Amino acid sequence: MSIDYIISRVLSGEASSEDILLLSEWLSMDQAHKKEFADLKNYWDAEVSFNTSVSPLVAVEKLFVHVNEKKKCRRRCNILMVLAPLAASIMLLIYISSTFFAASENKNVVQYYTYLTSDNQTNLSLSDGTKVSLNKYSRLTYSDSYGKENRSVSLEGEAYFEVSSNKLLPFELKLDKASIEVVGTIFNVKSEAGAAEIKATLLEGFIFFKSPSQKVLLLPNQELNFNKKSNGIAIREVYAQEAIAWKDGVQRYKSISFKNLISQLETRYGVSIIINKAALKMPSVRVSGTFAEEQSLDNILNLVALSIPLKWTKQGDVYFIN
């Protein structure tokens, strides 16, 4: 089976587990393969976006032609290196639940393990070498068959994964109304109970995000937002390290609009912030910075005021920016 055909099946959502493993092996052979694949995915996304009525067969035929045209193209490498080793953190609560289920006929017993974090984050390693960092108030669950019959885990909350490569046993992350499948990669996922959206950010490798109606491929430095109610999926280019700043106990922003920053601060501190100065609402007003988790909103606004001409006042739980 040619790699051209496998790529076409992957991008069209028709890939089997064997296709995914073969593609992963091909990508790991040469950096040029990763560049070629990224170029082809961009072409595919554009074809589907601008020709919403195009049939999968027609799109695949066009992709075959494009594959041959792209064979001689060189790629620019856009894969992030893994960050420095994770700093150790204290987990206030690790809860291991031993829940047993007896099958009606063979009486097989399955044991489930659940890790819970309270107001501290924690790091753990699974039996296959996969590393996980759990954010505050998060839950990770898996069975004793992990690493043997499957590599399936469930998440509620937020976690960072460094998944060890195993082409014969793909890693599956089960979420609320969705799932993620990978072979070996680095990514961050936020899937909180009761939240309207699931957010996945990829740092290295590639992942397949599966919803009830779609199967989407995510590439490095891309962020996916899945709306649980509408099943809608939106993907955008991001500075991926912003998504994992929580691991270092900070909030990191890189060239985001001031209006966007204020919106995030409202959510984080549970207050209302009203921007009265129209000029500050312009998309061209952008900020970058890193703030510690324990910093107060007052302190953050004072720091921002050092680089942007603004004054703020507070009345109860409402902030006014002028």
DSSP string, 77-124: --PPPPPSPPPP---S---------B-TTT--B--EEEEE-SSS-EEE
- Contact, 311 vs 280, CB < 8 A? no
Domains, the chain, ranges and CATH? 3-70 (no CATH), 112-242 (2.60.120.1440), 249-321 (3.55.50.30)
pLDDT of residue 65: 53
Residue type, 53: S
pLDDT tens for the chain, residues 1 to 322: 678 778 877 776 666 667 777 777 788 788 788 878 877 776 665 544 444 333 444 445 555 555 555 444 433 333 223 323 333 333 433 444 444 444 445 556 788 899 999 888 899 999 999 999 999 889 999 999 999 999 999 999 999 999 999 989 999 999 999 999 998 899 999 998 888 999 999 999 999 999 998 999 999 999 999 999 999 999 999 888 888 888 888 777 778 889 988 988 888 788 999 999 888 999 888 888 888 878 899 998 998 888 888 899 999 889 999 8
pLDDT of residue 68: 53
Residue type, 213: S
Of the candidates 131, 260, 135, which has an alpha carbon nearest to the alpha carbon of residue 189? 135
- Angstrom distance (rounded) from CA 299 to CA 251: 14
- Angstrom distance (rounded) from CA 251 to CA 264: 10
Q: How many other C-beta atoms are found inside a 10 Å radius of the C-beta of residue 250?
A: 14
CA dihedral sign of residues 236, 203, 232, 60:
positive
- Angstrom distance (rounded) from CA 33 to CA 39: 10
Put simply, whether the predicted model's pTM sits higher than 0.85 gets the answer no
Of the candidates 55, 79, 70, which has an alpha carbon nearest to the alpha carbon of residue 7? 70
The one-character DSSP state at 285 is -
